Structure 1
Amino acid sequence: MKIGFIGAGNVAQTYAKYLVRYGHEVVLSNSRGPDSLNELVRGIGSNAKTGTVQEAAMQDIAILCVRWEQAKQALAEVSDWSGRILVDATNRPSSEDAEGKTSSEIIASYAPGAGVIKALNTLVMNWMPAPSENDRKLVLFMSGDDKAAKQKLARILDEAGFAPVDLGGLIESGRLQEFGAPLSGLHMDLIKRMNS
């Protein structure tokens, strides 16, 4: 499967390493252009490459992992989000007044037509083991209204050694994943792998 990352910071790099290790292809992008990422992708693996934001968005699944204040501009670089799967891995500052809207509702408004899934935003990257050292399946929560899109993401995450848990719809379930909400920062193992 091919996964595009819009943003190339700690979140993108961490998940890209897991995905590449398990055979998936990743495209990393940022606002400074592909050439600025050449050295970074070499450290991720042979299945990683650089691209533009538009190229990242054209992959089977696109993952938005920029800072909250950069999200609108980053998504505006793609002219048509229709039919695309967009994973919202951002965390909106808890101090921002969004008039009762969840962060993913706002992200969905920036990418009309996309099947938006809230996921990959609750784990603390500094606490995550390297893929080669991980002998457990970390739980990853996801919320969204597009069941087919969630199934596709779940399959990829499972193949990459995680335990995806579908919480339900984008708005109500997504609230549980907001920064400062009950699932934010929660690290949990669903399955322990036994040594043979």
Structure 2
Amino acid sequence: MGPEIIPRTLAEVVKADIVFLAVRYESHPDVAKALPNWQGKTIIDVTNAYGVAVEELGGLPSSTVIAKAFNGAKFVKGFNHLPAGLLAADPQVEGGRRVVFLASDDDNSVPPVAALAERLGFAPVPLGKLAEGGALVQARGQTWAPLVFQDLVKSY
């Protein structure tokens, strides 16, 4: 994947202030158990729960379920609607920047993640709460949400 990608253990990752949670949906409880309290940390949920039964989620968006597992963390759904290859590509395209969608139930959590997305070269687009705009970028059962796989570019 390139020399700038450095594998880290979970014990090393939890020391970071911002953690991109990019694991299978079923693995999130194991990651969450790495700390008893995630206070002061921001979790960016990059997971997709495609194929997870809606009943298993209690009718909730998968990100709402995952957020509950990370006690005390600031929680933002984001960067999950694009395939890994597009995320790895230069976000400066066609006279603009590739869009990444962000959603959170905590309005104060989105601006720092949006600033990070901008530093990475992306154009962040806030979608609102997880159950509302966030539902536009989350798989549900055997279906993909309408904005998943949408490679959009915001002009300069």
Calculate the TM-score normalised by the size of structure 2.
0.83
RMSD over aligned Cα atoms: 2.1
Per the alignment, residue 83 of structure 2 pairs with 124
Partner of 1:137, secondary structure, is strand
Per the alignment, residue 148 of structure 1 pairs with 108
Please tell me the residue identity of whatever aligns with 1:71: H
Matches within 5 A, 1:62-141: 62-97=19-54, 98-128=57-87, 130-131=89-90, 134-135=92-93, 136-141=96-101
- Cα deviations by residue, 1:27-57 (Å, 9 ceiling, x for unpaired): xxxxxxxxxxxxx6xx332xx5443323322
In the aligned structure 1, how far is the partner of 2:123 from the partner of 2:11?
29
- Report the Cα offset of residue 147 of structure 1: 2.7
- Unaligned segments of structure 1, at least 5 residues: 1-39
Per the alignment, residue 147 of structure 2 pairs with 183
2:40–2:74 contact (8 Å) kept in structure 1? yes
Q: Deviating runs (4+, > 6 A) in structure 1?
A: none
Greater RCO (Cα-Cα under 8 Å, separation 6 or more): 2
Matches within 5 A, 1:9-20: none
Q: Does the C-alpha gap of structure 1 residues 84 and 127 become closer, same or farther in structure 2, counting only changes over 3 Å?
A: closer
1:115–1:145 contact (8 Å) kept in structure 2? no
In the aligned structure 2, how far is the partner of 1:165 from the partner of 1:65?
20
In the aligned structure 1, how far is the partner of 2:138 from the partner of 2:66?
13
In the aligned structure 2, how far is the partner of 1:75 from the partner of 1:95?
19
- Between the two proteins, the alignment pairs up a number of residues equal to 148
Partner of 1:116, secondary structure, is strand
Matches within 5 A, 1:22-33: none
In the aligned structure 2, how far is the partner of 1:70 from the partner of 1:128?
22
Partner of 1:44, secondary structure, is coil
Pick the aligned partner of 1:159 from 112, 119, 125: 119
- Unaligned segments of structure 2, at least 5 residues: none
1:144–1:150 contact (8 Å) kept in structure 2? yes
1:53–1:78 contact (8 Å) kept in structure 2? no
Per the alignment, residue 21 of structure 1 pairs with none
Please tell me the residue identity of whatever aligns with 1:51: R
In the aligned structure 2, how far is the partner of 1:106 from the partner of 1:138?
28
Partner of 1:168, secondary structure, is coil
- Cα deviations by residue, 1:121-163 (Å, 9 ceiling, x for unpaired): 00122345633x8434110000012233211111111111100
Structure with the higher strand share, 1 or 2: 1
